[in-house]
Amino acid sequence: MNLCVLGAQWGDEGKGKIVDLLTPRFSIVARYQGGHNAGHTVYVSGKKFVLHLIPSGILHPGIVCVIGNGVVVDPVALFAELDDLASLGVEVGNRLLVSDKAHVILPYHRELDVLAEARRGEQKIGTTSRGIGPAYEDKIGRRGIRVGDLADQSADGPLAGAVRDNVDARNRLVGNGDLKWPDVLADLRRAWTRLRPLVTDTSLYLHRAVQAGKRVMFEGAQGTLLDIDHGTYPFVTSSNSTAGGAATGLGIGPREVGTVLGVAKAYTTRVGGGPLPTELFGEMGERLRETGQEYGASTGRPRRCGWYDAVAVRYAARVNGLHALAITKLDVLDGLGRLEICTAYRCGAETLTEMPSDLAQLSACEPIYETMPGWAQPTRGITDFANLPEAARRYIERLEETSGVPAAIISTGSDREHTILRSPFTTGN
Ligand code: GDP
């Protein structure tokens, strides 16, 4: 059975560790959306790997990794990541495939990202300024340049025309003529020389692999509440990070997605702007940030921290059709006297048990908490559910009840070994 692993909160849930852990059960790991704004931190035998664009499956010899059509690719960032992996001794060879339909992030997309954020002022989204949003804008505006388009080597063919038109538009927007389209074209031609061996019709590749009985893991970036359609719009990312994105972002049928696993932290974090009903501003927020080392893997920005929001995770269970949850960072809660779970929102006179669509309403929501006892004994590194302190077991059970989804994986530390596996993951395959 194939498996889709995605974020059930606002991103940074620890998907990288879960994907890395499960990779040996699959032949292929495929990324379906986002760009190098994502940041997965994986520790293997104490060695730290930060992956942005390339699926973390690449750390496992023999695994093929796919960057799907739903991803936006900055060739400069991709090559930097490949060089980093090589310097850390990871042999990539022909194990990385890039969709010919993936859109290219051009140098001026980064500039436009910075300008758009500056224009938003107080309302800024807190993007990573890596050009992801503007690249998706060009895609939806039907003026984007796709990876496969770079094959056009003719002096005045479609690629040259598209680059000229796009750079002209950029110069009008930015209000100067600094960027010269032949320079951008020359960069893209250079990038193609290195990209070419990786580029293929990855939809067809995946179809054939599934037909041949190979198992695929689909890897989502960011999280459900950052999805362009189902997240806290406009404080969202520019792509579909929810399970539906796996089908459109890879060109596979929805039936091929298989089991859907939502990764959720045992508490809540978010980077950038936008509402976060359970946010903690005082000492407790600081305690979660420091113990959980809640600083962005891509940007180093401190993450906003708060108690577990069961309304948000229940919503994620619904829009993704989650079969199971992977609860991460349980150990971060070790030693707390009491824990709060937000089970509903109070909005004026109303009690909401479902995530509201309206941002103003969500911003006005106050969490309604249920208090649970904490635990004094450390959970760090525990690999058996029965060995967890009783209060920790009850906490996990409550997260299951409030989402209606079983916690099939519980992570008790950043290492691969620091994990409790439960059905259906108890066997090695
Ligand atoms: P991702 O983008 O969803 O993979 O999340 P990040 O990589 O940005 O953040 C997850 C961070 O938490 C990484 O530094 C992981 O090593 C770490 N991590 C993952 N699971 C656990 C856990 O169970 N306990 C602790 N203490 N750290 C964890």
Give the distance (Å) from ligand 1 centre to CA of residue 153.
43
- Closest residue by CA, ligand 1 atom 26: 413
pLDDT score at 127: 65
Minimal-distance CA residue to ligand 1 atom 18: 414
Work out which ligand 1 atom sits closest to the CA atom of 16: 4
pTM of the entire structure? 0.94
Please state the atom number of ligand 1 nearest to the C-alpha of residue 412: 23
pLDDT, residue 27, reads 97
Residue 66's pLDDT is what?
Answer: 98
* Given the residues 20, 36, 40, 103, the one annotated as active site: 40
- 252, 253, 226: which is closest to 240 by C-alpha? 226
Cβ(29)–Cβ(2) below 8 Å? no
Asked if 60 is an active-site residue, the reply is: no
What pLDDT does 231 receive? 97
Q: Using an 8 Å Cβ cutoff, are 319 and 229 in contact?
A: no
- The predicted structure's pLDDT at residue 125: 64
Q: Which atom of ligand 1 is nearest to the CA of 38?
A: 2
CA of 44 to the centre of ligand 1 (A): 12
Answer yes or no: 40 catalytic. yes
| Site residues for ligand 1, CB cut-off 6 Å | 7, 12-17, 39-41, 43, 297, 328-329, 331-332, 411-414
Nearest CA to ligand 1 atom 10: 14
Instruction: State the distance from the centre of ligand 1 to the C-alpha of 293, rounded, in angstroms.
Output: 9
Contacts 24+ apart (CB under 8 A), 360-364: 362/232, 362/275, 362/277, 363/275
Ligand 1 midpoint to CA 319 (Å): 24
User: Which of 414, 417, 419, 420 for a ligand 1 pocket mutation test, highest count of atoms within 8 Å of Cβ?
Assistant: 414
Of 111, 33, 42, nearest to 66 (Cα)? 33
Report the separation in Å between the CA atom of 344 and the middle of ligand 1, taken as the mean of its atom positions: 26
Tell me what pLDDT residue 111 has: 80
**Tally of CB atoms within 10 A around 114:** 14
As a whole number of angstroms, the distance between CA 364 and CA 378 comes to: 36
Residue nearest to atom 27 of ligand 1 (CA): 414
CA distances from 389 to 290, 373, 380, 397 (A): 23, 11, 11, 13
Best of 52, 287, 328 for a ligand 1 pocket test (most atoms within 8 Å of beta carbon): 328
Q: How far, in Å, from the CA of 347 to the mean position of ligand 1?
A: 32
* SS (HEC) of the chain: CCEEEEECCCCCCCHHHHHHHHHHHCCEEEECCECCCCCEEEEECCEEEEECCCCHHHHCCCCEEEECCCEEECHHHHHHHHHHHHHCCCCCCCCEEEECCCEECCHHHHHHHHHHHHHHHHHCCCCCCCCHHHHHHHHHCCCCCEHHHHHCCCCCCHHHHHHHHHHHHHHHHHCCCCCCHHHHHHHHHHHHHHHHHHEECHHHHHHHHHHCCCCEEEECCCCHHHCCCCCCCCCCCCCCCCCHHHHHCCCCCHHHHCEEEEEEECCEEECCCCCCCCECCCHHHHHHHHHCCCECCCCCCECEEECEEHHHHHHHHHHHCCCEEEEECHHHHCCCCEEEEEEEEEECCEEECCCCCCHHHHHCCEEEEEEEECCCCCCCCCCCHHHCCHHHHHHHHHHHHHHCCCEEEEECCCECCCEEECCCCCCCC
Quick one: which atom of ligand 1 is closest to the CA of 332? 26
CA of 243 to the centre of ligand 1 (A): 21
Residues 6+ away with beta carbon under 8 Å from 293: none
- Ligand 1 atom nearest to 42, measured from its CA: 16
Mean pLDDT (10-residue bins), the chain, 429 residues: 97 91 96 88 73 90 96 95 89 95 92 74 69 94 96 93 91 80 94 97 98 97 97 95 98 96 98 94 96 84 96 98 98 97 96 96 96 97 97 98 98 94 86
